Amino acid sequence: MIQLAKEMRNLQSYVHISTAFSNCVADYIEERFHTELLTRSSDQVLSLFEKESSETIDDMTTDLLGPFPNSYTYTKALGEDVVLREAENLPICIFRPAIIIASFKEPTSGWIDNLYGPVAITYGVAYGVLRVVLLDVKQQNSVVPVDYCANMALALARETAQKKKTHPNGSTPPIYNFAPSEGNLLTYGDFRAKALKYGSNYPVTNMIWYPFLLCIRCPWLFSIAAFLLHTLPGYFIDLALRISGRKPRLGKIYEKIHTTIKVLGPFSCRSWKFEMANKERLWQSMSREDQSIFNFDMLHLDWDQYFNRALCGMRLYLGKEPPTIESYIQGQKRLRMFHVLHRLVQALLLYVAYLTVRSLLELVFNLS
């Protein structure tokens, strides 16, 4: 893309979209290039790919990644390094949005078309499939609506084109971080509470259990809870499906879920702080009319209003369930039924635990 941009004679603006987690090795993400975090420059890595076989590259993966937790964040950092080294004379900037979630207002409220990160968790909980995750509820959840990201990208395109006119000789490409504002942060605990609260307004009609979510930050405790709440029930449900002549599903689903949760562990159990001075300067430079049209003001985003729209949209766009009164009534009936069953199972487990503890105490005192 950089090479193509160099060949464009009348290029006005180029917005390179990265991620706010491209330098997640650092606790404080500044709006600058963190080249010191890379074990090799992008030029050296590209040279390796040209000279070495894929098997050799695979063997070097750990060494290349260095402190980065996965190849996704590493390649994003490499991409930024390419921009730094190759695009100095281009009208270019780097846009780093945090975790992108459903739209707030545009193209329509609650619009989403993929299962990723917090959206995937919310979706799994809504259907009663996902019940426990490896997550620290006290950490910040850095999420931004997709329409706010689109608005800021458009504003950056204009800003970059304007800077081309005033600074035509080129300089180090500016970087813009985009995450929730300091005065309107959202923890993972807040996210869970709001998702469950507003999700109950729009329950899906084919849930398999009452939606709840246990958040555990200790990996070995998570493994135990995942076995009890996912693997074990999934085994019995798959057994029932086999007996009825249908194809078992939950076993493989839970394997994928657990693998994904462990991969995301480094992100769900810690927080980052983001410098956003460039983003703030961009926002303040816009007219009130432009701010209204291209809104990306995270400081005044109403999270309750957002979640109400997002959960409604998730049901429609991901669950493919119609937004009709009949469908909502059917979902509410199923939710109430599973709520009763959920409480009965909880009561039964508490009673079994009580009997077990009492038996153990009687055994100990009798032996003594």
Query: Is the pLDDT score of 274 beyond 70?
Result: yes
How sure is the predictor about 368, in pLDDT bands with cuts at 50, 70 and 90? Answer: low
Query: Is the pLDDT score of 329 beyond 90?
Result: yes
Query: Is the pLDDT score of 86 beyond 90?
Result: no
Q: Model confidence over 277-324: pLDDT tens digits?
A: 999 999 999 999 999 999 999 999 999 999 999 999 999 999 999 999
Query: Is the pLDDT score of 217 beyond 70?
Result: yes
How sure is the predictor about 231, in pLDDT bands with cuts at 50, 70 and 90? Answer: very high
Mean of the per-residue pLDDT values for the chain?
91
Q: What is the CATH number of domain 2-323?
A: 3.40.50
How sure is the predictor about 167, in pLDDT bands with cuts at 50, 70 and 90? Answer: low
pLDDT above 90 coverage of the chain, percent = 68
Q: What is the pLDDT of residue 334?
A: 96
**b/e code 10-19 from CB counts within 10 Å (16+ = b):** eeebbbbebb
Query: Is the pLDDT score of 366 beyond 80?
Result: no
Q: What is the pLDDT of residue 88?
A: 78
The predicted model scores a pTM of 0.89
Q: What is the pLDDT of residue 328?
A: 95
